[in-house]
Amino acid sequence: MLNWEGVPARAAADQKSINLRPTPYRFDNGVVEWRGMATNITESKENEAELRGSRQQLAELSSTSEAAKEEERERISRDIHDELGSILVFLKIEAAPKSQARCRQGAEPACGEKAHPIERLLDQAMSTASRAARELRPGILEEFGPPAAIECQAEDFTQRFGIPCRVQCDEDAIEPEPDTPLAPRFASSKRH
């Protein structure tokens, strides 16, 4: 039995796809006759082509969507790092000398007690803003590659949770494709 799909060579303007399934039948006198079935599979082939086209469009849309997400992550990361980080640093610089000067003048007896917690909160806010920016768009990955980014992640983990981490990786074995998204796909762990 044979199984053939295609468009007949002498097809008219409205070409039809067919499926042929002939089987040879031998008569007593030795003559061979092919008997079988021809099925019009034009609609099925058109549906397959449409499905392939839809899958291609979906892949392109997914790629475009991922690129838009990457751009948005980069913008938010830049805003957090540049704008919020700058404001926090400015607040720390402004708050420290003024609070120290007032304390020296004796303007407020407990000002030293108030100034240190504020400075610690500003340090914590700056650290949080920096970490959030790195988690949204790890610049170290783009600048220095996966091995350095993995080492940085291990150091962050050690600092945040107090669990020592050691990293060992083959720098030549890790080389992502140029269009690979740089932001991590996992939800960041939050302190409780």
- Residues 105 and 145 occupy one common structural domain: no
pLDDT of residue 147: 83
Neighbours of 77 (CB within 10 A): 19
Does any domain span residue 112? yes
Same domain for 70 and 133: yes
Q: What is the mean pLDDT of residues 99-119?
A: 62
What is the domain count for the chain? 2
Q: 77 and 101 share a domain? A: yes
Q: How far apart are CA 85 and CA 78, in angstroms?
A: 10
What tens digit of pLDDT does each residue of 52-105 get? 999 999 999 988 888 888 888 888 888 888 888 888 888 888 777 655 555 555
Same-domain status, 93 and 60: yes
Q: Is residue 188 part of a domain?
A: no
Question: What pLDDT does residue 189 have?
Answer: 44
Tell me the per-residue pLDDT of 14-38, one tens digit each, with 9 for 90 and over: 788 889 899 999 999 999 998 999 8
Closest alpha carbon to 187 in 136, 118, 116, 127? 136
Tell me the H-state helices in the chain: 42-78, 85-105, 111-136, 139-144, 146-161
* 32 inside domain: no
Number of other residues whose CB lies within 10 A of the CB of residue 128: 14
Shared-domain flag, residues 50 and 133:
yes
Q: Which residue type, as a one-letter code, is found at position 2?
A: L
pLDDT digits (tens, 9 = 90+) for 135-150: 777 777 777 878 888 8
Same domain, 51 and 126: yes
Query: Domain of 93?
Result: 44-137
pLDDT in tens, 36-66: 998 999 999 999 999 999 999 999 998 888 8
pLDDT of 123-139, one tens digit each? Answer: 888 888 887 887 777 77
